[in-house]
Amino acid sequence: MTFGIVKPSLLVASVALLVLLSACSPSASPGPAAGTTPAGPATSGGAAVVVPAPYKGMKDPFAPTDAAAVSAGQAIYTQRCQTCHGDKGDGKGPAGSALNPPPANFTASPTKGKFTTAQDELFWRVSEGWPGTAMPAFKGQLSDEQRWQVITYEWKLGGG
């Protein structure tokens, strides 16, 4: 039996899928909390999003100019988020192109605006994942501080 050479495009797709699967939480993402409206990754789909307690009203403790928080967030983002959300935060990472719905684009409205208007929603989504998408929950993998640092870095990617 002989084996042919693997086509580069198949190899890249396979590696991207493996990286995506290794970055995902091993547990299933929870469904939406009672009284909430699921939303797509880049927008709230026009529907009102009700952020559940204990996330409601939370604010990022880091300023977008906090160099230490941005640097820490960048390191985490590079390891855990970049594969889907891309180098620039535009949702065009190597694994992101295979996802439906696509990953959030932090550089485009309305997601970009959420860094100032809906920080609690962003923290909730990073913490609990996003039902109906490939976005995993990071609450069991990253501390509160680390999740806020990632959001602070994403804010910078979005132009904050």
The whole-chain average pLDDT of the chain stands at 79
Domains and their CATH numbers in the chain: 59-160 (1.10.760.10)
The three-state DSSP-derived secondary structure of the chain is CCCCCCCHHHHHHHHHHHHHHHHCCCCCCCCCCCCCCCCCCCCCCCCCCCCCCCCCCCCCCCCCCCHHHHHHHHHHHHHHCHHHHCCCCCCCCCCHHHCCCCCCCCCCCCHHHHHHHCHHHHHHHHHHCCCCCCCCCCCCCCCHHHHHHHHHHHHHHCCC
Q: What is the rounded average pLDDT of the residues 12-21?
A: 41
State the sign of the Cα–Cα–Cα–Cα dihedral 98, 144, 30, 18. Answer: positive
Residue that wins the pLDDT comparison between 47 and 130: 130
Residue 38 pLDDT exceeds 90: no
Lowest mean pLDDT among 13-22, 110-119, 134-143: 13-22
What's residue 130's pLDDT? 92
Residue 142 pLDDT exceeds 80: yes
Q: What is the rounded average pLDDT of the residues 57-73?
A: 96
How many CB atoms neighbour CB 78 within 10 A? 12
Q: What is the rounded average pLDDT of the residues 121-140?
A: 96
What are the structure tokens assigned to 6, written together? 């693997």
pTM (2 decimals)? 0.72
